[in-house]
Amino acid sequence: MLDDYSNRQIGDFIVEEQLGRGAMSVVYRAVQQSFNRRVALKIINLNLNPLARENYQPYFIQEAKVIATLEHIHIVPIYNYGAVDEESSYIAMRLLQRGSVLTLLEDGIVDLYRAVDIFSQAARGLAHAHGRGIIHRDLKPSNILLDDLGNAYLTDFGLGKLAEVSLDLTEAGNVIGTPLYASPEQLTGDPIDHRTDIYSMSAILYHMLTGRPPYSLGEGGLGELIRAQATTRPDPVCQLNPLVPAEIDEVILQGLSHNPDDRPSSIEEMAETINRALGRRSSPNSDPLIYVREVTQQALQSRGSQQLRLIATMIGIVVVAAIMIALSGGARGRPQPSVRAGARGDAQDVAPAPAEIEAARAALGSDGFIAFVACGTSAAFHETQVEAMARQAAEYGVDLRVYDSQMDVYRQTTELERARVEGARAIILCALDSNALASSLEAAQAAGIPLVHMNPVQPLYGGVVLDGDHLALGNRAGTLAGNLIQSEFGGEGRVLLLEYGSQELIRERARGVEKGLSEAAPASYIVSRLAVNSAEEARREVASLIEQGTSFNVLISVRDGVVYDAIEALEAAGISPEEVVVISIDGEERARQWVDEGRYLRATIEVDGEASGIMAVDTAVRLLAGGSVPEYVGFPGGDVYTAGSPVQEATAANAP
């Protein structure tokens, strides 16, 4: 029986609620304190006998190090691992909360195209592992997780091998893996190689397309299952689901062959054969990403929506099947822009002339578009920015499509790939982590796709940086706070600094805040820096600090988007507006309203989201037209919105 670790601390992790339980592991949602992020924390206990216990932890660390090197878009990343005690260990992974293939199977048969998309994505991750000599050993529907868009991620690599540490499990005939999806050689204890995973993947695809595994575990137990695998073939897939083409049926049954030599030689070969049967073209660099829009996603979650499923997946398949067509032209035939390295400019330097707008429309053609891969769209600043982009694009007669990363680095990787796959001819990007996007940005540059960066990144991949002076914005907020500290708190400020997201612009603003504070109120200090990724997290973390007794009289948020929830945490704790000075950056309409109402917020530093949105589209259009554009383009910002609060007098009184 595995212990309950809820509400306990394990190393760097504060364990929260239990998410799932298996035979030898329990998964919890937890918070990794050093990065202030939520993770999935898997606690593993193999119930080892005394002889195996002594060598377990060194073996676990050795295996975990190998598994942690698997970096692929369709493998759940491992953040950390370690020992809980002498026979229990933990692995911290990316948190995905949209369920797994097992969740999908609760609705019965999975739509053909969606099933093949999931299989293809998982196959790519598996091929990456096989290429490094790593066998999964325990593939099953619950080990293929799904993100918010329905994309697939393999998890639990190596757990089957870790189980071999127990002497009881390595006796002849004992099973390492899940029987219904395990290969015959696994069930009989014979040597295995990568083809055991091919069998398991075939069994999973069979289940998705028929609504049941290829074999059942009846009253005869494991022995009956082993005999069935050795003496019978599963019912044909197309017999149970007439929508499945015979070619796909054939390759699935081949993958379920009793003899490993009769199976496809690689999982890549199997996936390629299946996709060819659907009329798809594939290449080592293409990937059938799933992208169901939010409104469609909600419809697909309700049972009985088979028609909507078919429509949504068919739309996806048409786009994915056109990958090579959409990208094959590359930059051929398009006017090539000139990005003036090191040059700086403003709005006038990127505004396109009428002839350039016409040239950009011609470069886009009938099906091309400009993609905006956003950091997020929930904050009012981002909404203003997106609305301005949409208006400007409509005025120019060009198509703009928005890809919302929802402040999630891994989701952004998927969104950027989606934009390229769907045929974006120019990309406007608000990068959350440019290092995580490096391969996609390199591919975009190689394909001649113009890039407009909404925040500082290095390298630029041949693109243009469109950005305000975030160091100056932060400095303005810090100086403002320092002046108020001098006038209201005798120069002694205990500052809570709230950071939203992990982009370089956030770090720039935070550095500016620190500089402004140190100059305007040198006796002040930052008591805590909270890095959050959502408004809800901001509320929760501020409330937690207050509950812990952390004292602060100044709260500075480097983005308006999370300051409202932080203020609500102050209200809930009974802290009055007179006790704490609150300043934020972005100048959102809601922030200005709260300043006017005197609701804690003393001032917000204005950043012109509308101007930046317009300039982003202007820059993309001019690049598409082959125009000359400076490498760095600044947009206006930095005005202080106070609406008659004491800030102006304090600033004036303390000005040098």
> What was the pLDDT predicted at 1?
54
Domain stops at, among 45, 75, 94: 94
Mean pLDDT of 212-226: 84
**Is the pLDDT at 295 greater than 50, yes or no?**
no
In this structure, of 284-288, 433-437, 439-443, 570-574, the range with the lowest mean pLDDT score is 284-288
> What was the pLDDT predicted at 616?
95
Q: pLDDT tens digits, residue range 85-107?
A: 777 889 999 888 788 999 999 99
The total domain count for the chain is 4
Mean pLDDT of 16-38: 85
In this structure, are 376 and 487 located in the same domain? no
Maximum Cα interatomic distance, the chain, rounded to a whole number of Å: 91
Indicate the pLDDT class of residue 60, thresholds 50, 70 and 90: confident
Better-predicted residue by pLDDT, 230 or 517:
517
Mean pLDDT of 393-422: 87
Mean pLDDT of 420-438: 87
In angstroms, the CA 29 to CA 6 distance is 9
In angstroms, the CA 558 to CA 584 distance is 6
In order of 407, 489, 572, the CA distances from 569 in angstroms are 22, 22, 5
Domain stops at, among 69, 94, 119: 94
> What was the pLDDT predicted at 545?
93
In angstroms, the CA 490 to CA 294 distance is 51
In this structure, are 243 and 352 located in the same domain? no
Domain stops at, among 264, 288, 312: 288
Q: pLDDT tens digits, residue range 379-406?
A: 667 788 898 999 999 999 999 999 988 8
**CATH code, domain with 207:** 1.10.510.10
Token output for 90: 């933990």
- Residue 461 corresponds to which amino acid? Y
**CATH code, domain with 436:** 3.40.50.2300
**Is the pLDDT at 170 greater than 70, yes or no?**
no
Q: pLDDT tens digits, residue range 181-208?
A: 999 998 888 899 999 999 999 999 999 9
One-letter-per-residue 3-state SS of 86-123 = CCEEEEEEECCCCCEHHHHHCCCCCCHHHHHHHHHHHH
> What was the pLDDT predicted at 297?
35
In this structure, are 152 and 278 located in the same domain? yes
Better-predicted residue by pLDDT, 160 or 641:
641
Mean pLDDT of 140-152: 87
> What was the pLDDT predicted at 260?
96
**Is the pLDDT at 492 greater than 50, yes or no?**
yes
Is 319 a member of any domain?
Answer: no
User: ω into residue 284 within 30 of 0, thus cis?
Assistant: no
In angstroms, the CA 34 to CA 248 distance is 47
Is 455 a member of any domain?
Answer: yes
> Of the ranges 24-28, 140-144, 463-467, 468-472, which is most confident?
140-144
Better-predicted residue by pLDDT, 572 or 35:
572
Indicate the pLDDT class of residue 266, thresholds 50, 70 and 90: very high
In this structure, are 461 and 474 located in the same domain? no
In this structure, are 420 and 491 located in the same domain? no
Q: pLDDT tens digits, residue range 342-371?
A: 888 888 899 999 999 999 999 999 889 999
Contact 561, 535 (CB under 8 A): yes
How does the average pLDDT of the chain come out, rounded? Answer: 82
Is 301 a member of any domain?
Answer: no
β-sheet with 554-557: strand ranges across = 525-532, 494-500, 554-557, 581-586, 601-607, 637-641
* 99 φ, ψ (degrees, to nearest 5): 85, -160
> What was the pLDDT predicted at 165?
44
In this structure, are 107 and 88 located in the same domain? no
In this structure, are 146 and 274 located in the same domain? yes
In this structure, are 283 and 138 located in the same domain? yes
Is 655 a member of any domain?
Answer: no
In this structure, are 282 and 367 located in the same domain? no
SS3 state of residue 62: helix
In this structure, are 456 and 540 located in the same domain? no
CA angle centred on 533, ends 530 and 539, rounded to 5°: 60
Q: pLDDT tens digits, residue range 302-341?
A: 333 444 443 344 434 334 434 333 444 444 456 678 899 8
Is 326 a member of any domain?
Answer: no
> What was the pLDDT predicted at 142?
92
Is 647 a member of any domain?
Answer: no
Is 388 a member of any domain?
Answer: yes
Mean pLDDT of 551-566: 94
In this structure, of 65-74, 173-182, 389-398, 467-476, the range with the lowest mean pLDDT score is 173-182
In this structure, are 121 and 228 located in the same domain? yes
> What was the pLDDT predicted at 507?
84
> What was the pLDDT predicted at 637?
65
> What was the pLDDT predicted at 309?
40
β-sheet with 628-633: strand ranges across = 338-345, 628-633, 464-466, 451-453, 424-429, 369-374, 400-404
Tokens 């925040």 belong to which residue?
455
Better-predicted residue by pLDDT, 177 or 215:
215
Is 183 a member of any domain?
Answer: yes
**Is the pLDDT at 555 greater than 50, yes or no?**
yes
Q: pLDDT tens digits, residue range 603-648?
A: 999 887 788 899 999 999 999 999 999 998 887 666 888 865 444 4
Mean pLDDT of 431-436: 81
**With a threshold of 0.75, does the pTM exceed it?**
no
β-pair partners for 403 = 373
In this structure, are 131 and 243 located in the same domain? yes
**CATH code, domain with 67:** 3.30.200.20
Q: Give the domain range for residue 359.
A: 338-466+611-636
